[in-house]
Amino acid sequence: MKVLRKRIGQDHSEKYLMELEDGNTIETLYMFDEKRQLTFHNTVCVSSQVGCGMGCRFCATGKQGFTRNLSMKEIVGQVDVCNSTRENARTVPIDAVVFAGMGEPLLNYEQVKAAILVMRSRLGISHFELATVGIVPKIYELIKDFQGTDISIRLNISLHASSDDQRRLIIPMTERYSMYKIIQAATDYAIAFGVKVRIRYMLFRDFNGKAEDIRRLTDLLEGKPMKLIISQYNENNIQGLIPSGRLEVLEFYNTISTAIDSEIFHNFGSDIQGGCGQLKQTMVV
């Protein structure tokens, strides 16, 4: 695994473009929470696939389509590269690994699971986070495989809409797994591990931030072991998708947080195109 390019953001995030043995490339993001405001302060966001087959309209990876799954060694290798080349490698250990880079991790479940087990045994990392569009059967596999272990996996559901009809416009997999089924699986996951599942909700201007969206989300999530994580859409120059402004995000949060446990997401690496939905396969000439 070879580093082709490294970019450092204003918030000290480090984005790596890595070349695999077959010539394909992936991107990985190291995030350093210098102010120690978040749960984890030194995290690596890894890719699990080359490209992605989910076709989410807002995602740079999804626009490129699916090439192949990464192996366990290629997933762990991203953490090894960050550990050997990041600016503070000798002073600050990695305390969590996030599966929210390129690809849908639950569609490469066996290699992702193997990578988690290796990182726990070899690197001593016990805290993980996994973002998924909601592959319902695999959520139940996570419960079966990790309940009762000393490994913590914080589940993130990429919802980004308040109804199935709305979500189908940006996340095609909604045709297979409805929001009701996804939230039911997420509830079962939360109960099994005694945690709250994080529901990710990017705001797009004039699309999913209206009063009716707040009402539908409240009906869907109120009283459930969930935490709504609200953020701006990261600009990917996709026609028809415009990020909501910061004031719109704050107003949405102030309204919905009266009914649902909510938080405004701190987005790392957006100035170097390392934010959620911005990682992609890139060729360097």
The domains found in the chain, sorted by start residue, are 2-272 (3.20.20.70)
**pLDDT tens figures, 179-202:** 999 999 999 999 999 999 999 999
Q: Is 27 an annotated catalytic residue? A: yes
> What pLDDT does 203 receive?
95
> What pLDDT does 263 receive?
95
Catalytic residue of the set 45, 59, 82, 276: 276
> What pLDDT does 284 receive?
47
> What pLDDT does 32 receive?
83
* Residue 94 or 268, more confident: 94
- Residue 69: phi and psi, rounded to 5, are -75, 150
* 250 three-state secondary structure: helix
**pLDDT tens figures, 200-251:** 999 999 999 999 999 999 999 999 999 999 998 877 777 788 889 999 999 9
Instruction: Give the number of other Cβ atoms within 10 Å of residue 130's Cβ.
Output: 21
**pLDDT tens figures, 68-120:** 999 999 999 999 998 887 766 656 788 999 999 999 999 999 999 999 999 99
* Residue 44 CB partners (closer than 8 Å, separation 6+): 28, 29, 30, 31, 78, 79, 82, 94, 96, 97, 98
User: Of all residues in the chain, what percent carry a pLDDT higher than 90?
Assistant: 72
Q: Please, are residues 253 and 220 in contact by the beta-carbon 8 Å criterion?
A: no
DSSP type of residue 176: T
DSSP type of residue 243: B
> What pLDDT does 109 receive?
98
> Residue 12 pLDDT > 90, yes or no?
no
Q: Is 45 an annotated catalytic residue? A: no
Find, among 145, 157, 89, the residue nearest to 120 by Cα: 145
Catalytic residue of the set 14, 19, 27, 175: 27
Q: How far is 84 from 86, CA to CA, in rounded Å?
A: 6
> What pLDDT does 280 receive?
47
| Rounded (10°) angle between helices 211-221 and 246-256 | 40
Query: Model's pTM, two decimal places?
Result: 0.91
**pLDDT tens figures, 22-62:** 999 999 999 887 766 667 778 999 999 999 999 999 988 88
